[in-house]
């Protein structure tokens, strides 16, 4: 009985070593594994180790191996749990990918947790808005942009929109856009490239599903001091739904029923004060833009801009422009 217990512990420790120390690009040789087991007080011979690996594979702990002078082993990781797969699936369903591509990716996600072989999983995949226009090249666009970012190379592409006949209309007479890529940003079911050019200050944003022939250029990016400490998460919070504007501190009062919405948009690290009458007040760091004003208007008076005065005046002018057009 003691021998069986020791054998079980050995397998657990062996799997723990492989899980934490290996992947497809970082395998351990037979000797390295034996040495790691020895550090944990477990002795195993070169002849027995392969049978231990086979036993792990038999019980579903996938361990792969290859020979390169010596035999090397690595663990195939289960990247996601079921809840994470469900969340990622929802994002994919809402994307601008084609329905075929969506289904392919979702099945790949499910395969990481063994659900791919279960025929019932397809019954839970529902695609809404299936008539939306999809772009089959989005995946390749993203891959090229990520490569450019990692290699610090410029990226170029054609940019277009669809006319009333769903035909592509290329911008700039089909001349290529060339930019220094900063980051990929996801917002409101769309993927954007955040980038900057050599001559102008600030950033530009382009929808990846509107790009064609994305190419990693051989020319390195022009590094600018203003982007030296760029943080994509900070930018995402400030940009407010992907429309640029001047970054300002804006104090707003709002009904308490909008508190969750405020947290969702601006994060939970903002300070909230309760004012007389039950209203709440906070100061937001936002890029003041049309989108910000549209959000305020959309609350039907439940959000009021308190200060600064110049933002209040710009908002009043924005509302007046809307009413004048009706």
**Domain-embedded: residue 133:** no
**Domain-embedded: residue 256:** yes
The model's confidence at residue 20, banded by pLDDT at 50, 70 and 90, is: confident
Is the pLDDT at 8 greater than 80? The verdict is: no
Is residue 36 domain-shared with residue 90, that is, in the same domain? no
pTM passes above 0.85:
no
Is residue 90 domain-shared with residue 38, that is, in the same domain? no
**How high is the pLDDT of residue 16?**
87
Is residue 207 domain-shared with residue 180, that is, in the same domain? yes
**Domain-embedded: residue 167:** yes
Mean pLDDT for all residues in the chain: 82
Angle at 185 between CA 184 and CA 189, to 5 degrees: 125
Q: What's 312's domain CATH number?
A: 3.30.70
Please state, as a whole number, how many other Cβ atoms lie within 10 Å of the Cβ of residue 242.
Answer: 18
**Number of compact structural domains in the chain:** 4
**How high is the pLDDT of residue 216?**
97
**Domain-embedded: residue 213:** yes
**Domain-embedded: residue 106:** yes
How far is residue 36's CA from residue 28's CA, in Å, rounded to a whole number? Answer: 10
Is the pLDDT at 87 greater than 50? The verdict is: yes
Kindly state the tokens that stand for 244: 């640029």
User: Helix (H, G, I), strand (E, B), or coil: what is residue 213?
Assistant: strand
With b for 16 or more beta-carbon neighbours within 10 A and e for fewer, the 274-309 pattern comes to eeeeeebebebebbbbebbbebbeeeeeebbbeeee
**How high is the pLDDT of residue 38?**
92
- Choosing from 93, 124, 155, the residue where a domain stops is 124
- pLDDT tens per residue across span 115-146: 333 434 444 444 444 444 566 678 889 889 98
- Choosing from 198, 230, 262, the residue where a domain stops is 230
Contacts of 168 (CB under 8 A, 6+ apart): 160, 161, 162, 212
The model's confidence at residue 282, banded by pLDDT at 50, 70 and 90, is: very high
**Domain-embedded: residue 131:** no
- pLDDT tens per residue across span 178-218: 999 998 887 766 788 999 999 888 889 899 989 999 999 99
**Domain-embedded: residue 285:** yes
The model's confidence at residue 314, banded by pLDDT at 50, 70 and 90, is: very high
**How high is the pLDDT of residue 130?**
44
**How high is the pLDDT of residue 112?**
61
**Domain-embedded: residue 22:** yes
Is residue 225 domain-shared with residue 252, that is, in the same domain? no
Structural domain for 219, as ranges: 138-230
């Amino acid at each position: 009985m003691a021998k069986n217990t020791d054998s079980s512990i050995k397998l657990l420790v062996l799997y723990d070593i492989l899980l934490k120390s290996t992947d497809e690009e970082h395998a351990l040789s037979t000797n390295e594994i034996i040495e790691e087991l020895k550090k944990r007080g477990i002795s195993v011979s070169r002849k027995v180790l392969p049978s231990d690996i086979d036993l792990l594979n038999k019980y579903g702990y996938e361990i792969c191996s290859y020979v390169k002078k010596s035999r090397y082993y690595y663990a195939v990781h289960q990247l996601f749990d079921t809840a994470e797969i469900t969340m990622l699936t929802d994002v994919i369903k809402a994307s601008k990918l084609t329905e075929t591509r969506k289904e392919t990716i979702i099945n790949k996600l499910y395969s990481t947790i063994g659900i791919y072989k279960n025929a019932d999983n397809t019954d839970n995949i529902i695609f809404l808005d299936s008539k939306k226009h999809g772009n089959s090249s989005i995946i390749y666009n993203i891959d090229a942009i990520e490569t450019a970012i990692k290699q610090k190379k410029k990226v170029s592409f054609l940019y277009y929109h669809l006319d009333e006949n769903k035909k592509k209309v290329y911008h700039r007479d089909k001349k290529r856009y060339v930019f220094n890529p900063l980051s990929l940003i996801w917002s409101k079911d769309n993927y954007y490239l955040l980038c900057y050019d050599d001559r102008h200050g600030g950033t530009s944003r382009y929808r990846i599903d509107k790009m064609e022939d994305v190419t990693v250029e051989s020319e390195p990016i022009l590094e600018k001091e203003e982007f030296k400490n760029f943080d994509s998460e900070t930018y995402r919070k400030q940009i407010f739904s992907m429309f640029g504007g001047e970054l300002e501190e804006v104090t707003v009062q709002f009904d308490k029923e909008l508190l969750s919405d405020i947290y969702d948009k601006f994060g939970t690290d903002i300070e909230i004060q309760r004012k007389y009458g039950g209203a709440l007040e906070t100061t937001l760091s936002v890029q003041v833009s049309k989108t910000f004003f549209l959000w305020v208007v959309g609350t039907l008076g439940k959000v009021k801009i308190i200060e600064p005065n110049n933002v209040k005046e710009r908002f009043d002018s924005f509302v007046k422009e809307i009413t004048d057009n009706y």
